[in-house]
Amino acid sequence: MLGKVKQACYFIYGYMIAIKCRTASQERTANRQQQRFQKLINHVADKSHFYSRFKNQTLSKFPIIDKPLFLAHFDEINTVGLDLKQCEEHGLKAESDRDFNAVLKGVSVGLSSGTSNQRGVFLVSPCEQALWAGYIIAKNIPFSFRKKKVALFLRANSNLYESTNGLFMDFRFFDLTKSFDDLIAELEAYNPHILIAPAHVLDIIAKHQSTIKPDKIISVAEVLENSMRDRVEDCFPCKLHEIYQATEGYIASSCSHGNLHINEDILIVEKEWIDKESGRFAPIITDLNRRTLPIIRYRLNDILIEEKASCPCGSHFTRLQKIEGREDDMLWLPHSTNGSLVAIFPDLIRRAMYICQTQVSDYRIAQHGGVISFTYKSDDAAKAEQDITATLTELFTGLNVDKPEINFNVGIKQDLMKKQRRIACYQKPSFVD
Ligand SMILES: [Zn+2]
């Protein structure tokens, strides 16, 4: 009983953080971040072996960690004495049994289906879960006394999401391992107020000409391409919103004007510039609420693009123009005159492919050294290959890079259980000096 009351308090606390900080000034936000970081460290330094030597240190003194380092030190970083192997086994069993309610030492274990080879693992206590639920609801679901039906399409459920079921909310989990025709029939019968799904699943729902009439649609877990956004917004009479959440934290969400802002009321985000001129950076995140598995100066290999213009919503939180993808979505080609490798940002490729969309309905690009494999769907392969070649040649010539060898393959097998990744560099070409 006491546990439930505590969780309810955390839920309200999470809800209030999201409401209170909406229009806080930059200075006030920074002060709050510092106060909460200090509280976090006081707790974590006592319980995490990895961070015990950093007590009373400022954030800049903490090491920057990435996924391999984080997983290598997982047992020393978490504050509840769990080891990585048992957490992975627990998470895999939950996925194979499709039963996501079991806990380990009182905490929920989740696995991320990340696009990299290394699986992510997250741990959350019931109170962290309640705080997260309060926060995500306040951020994304307009308050109403009418019970809202929320349809959630995910590869794996977690009691993290089901914990949000309650008086004003009815969450329904749509399991992507089931047949899509059955899921569409179930979705139409449910007719949700809010639809939450990965971008390419929303795209498929739109292509099915679904008759549901949601008030709000939210894209999660994948890069939202402009062509997908257009199709979804054409099919449903509401603006498409985004939640940018990784295993490591809830990083950004769309405001009432549909613009993405970093959640600086729960995170400190440092920017490691990839290309300052265009505003591209990799985020280094510190989550101010996570104590079971602390996330401190964790470098994500995502590419975000900062938007300098202020937002009419009044929020001073950093605005993002877009989430471009992952760093290993960048292609690399030799400069035509000096041979040094030039990064081709995924957005440039996407924009080029947007031009070919009348011929190419879907595509995947994989770079292996000097060869690019181009797999696509089209009703007219000859015309499609001609268009793609012309478009990419123009792009590469404009960037002053050597044109790579391109291998074309027709036909894409859609796998809903896999995170869609359209552009990927598996091996850079060798640099010729
Ligand atoms: Zn805004």
Distance of CA 221 from the midpoint of ligand 1 (Å): 20
Q: How far apart are CA 433 and CA 428, in angstroms?
A: 15
The model's pLDDT over 228-266, given as tens digits with 9 standing for 90+, comes to 888 899 888 888 999 998 878 899 999 988 899 999 999
Is the CB of residue 428 less than 8 Å from the CB of residue 332?
yes
Distance of CA 317 from the midpoint of ligand 1 (Å): 8
Distance of CA 314 from the midpoint of ligand 1 (Å): 6
- Segments of the chain assigned to CATH 3.40.50.12780: 2-327
Distance of CA 55 from the midpoint of ligand 1 (Å): 36
The model's pLDDT over 178-225, given as tens digits with 9 standing for 90+, comes to 778 888 999 999 999 999 998 888 988 888 877 888 989 999 877 788
The model's pLDDT over 193-202, given as tens digits with 9 standing for 90+, comes to 999 998 888 9
**How confident is the model over 80-108, as a mean pLDDT?**
85
pLDDT attached to residue 160:
53
pLDDT attached to residue 165:
60
The model's pLDDT over 27-86, given as tens digits with 9 standing for 90+, comes to 999 999 999 999 999 999 999 999 999 988 999 999 999 998 999 999 999 999 999 999
Distance of CA 23 from the midpoint of ligand 1 (Å): 10
- Segments of the chain assigned to CATH 3.30.300.30: 330-427
**% of the chain at pLDDT higher than 90:** 38
Q: How far apart are CA 315 and CA 26, in angstroms?
A: 9
Q: Give 4's pLDDT tier (boundaries 50, 70, 90).
A: confident
Distance of CA 321 from the midpoint of ligand 1 (Å): 11
């190419």: which residue's tokens?
360
pLDDT attached to residue 108:
87
Q: Give 422's pLDDT tier (boundaries 50, 70, 90).
A: confident
Distance of CA 359 from the midpoint of ligand 1 (Å): 36
The model's pLDDT over 372-389, given as tens digits with 9 standing for 90+, comes to 999 998 888 888 898 899
Residue from 302, 264, 258 nearest 280 by CA: 302
pLDDT attached to residue 39:
93
Distance of CA 18 from the midpoint of ligand 1 (Å): 14
Q: Give 354's pLDDT tier (boundaries 50, 70, 90).
A: confident
**% of the chain at pLDDT higher than 70:** 92
Distance of CA 251 from the midpoint of ligand 1 (Å): 15
Q: Give 158's pLDDT tier (boundaries 50, 70, 90).
A: low
Q: How far apart are CA 67 and CA 298, in angstroms?
A: 8
Is the CB of residue 194 less than 8 Å from the CB of residue 218?
yes
Which CATH number is associated with domain 2-327?
A: 3.40.50.12780
Q: Give 2's pLDDT tier (boundaries 50, 70, 90).
A: low
Distance of CA 318 from the midpoint of ligand 1 (Å): 9
Q: How far apart are CA 239 and CA 193, in angstroms?
A: 13
Distance of CA 311 from the midpoint of ligand 1 (Å): 5
Q: Give the right CATH number for 330-427 from 3.30.450.30, 3.20.20.80, 3.30.420.10, 3.30.300.30.
A: 3.30.300.30
Mean pLDDT of the chain: 86
Q: Give 3's pLDDT tier (boundaries 50, 70, 90).
A: confident
Q: Give 286's pLDDT tier (boundaries 50, 70, 90).
A: very high
pLDDT attached to residue 51:
95
Strand partners, 260: 254, 320
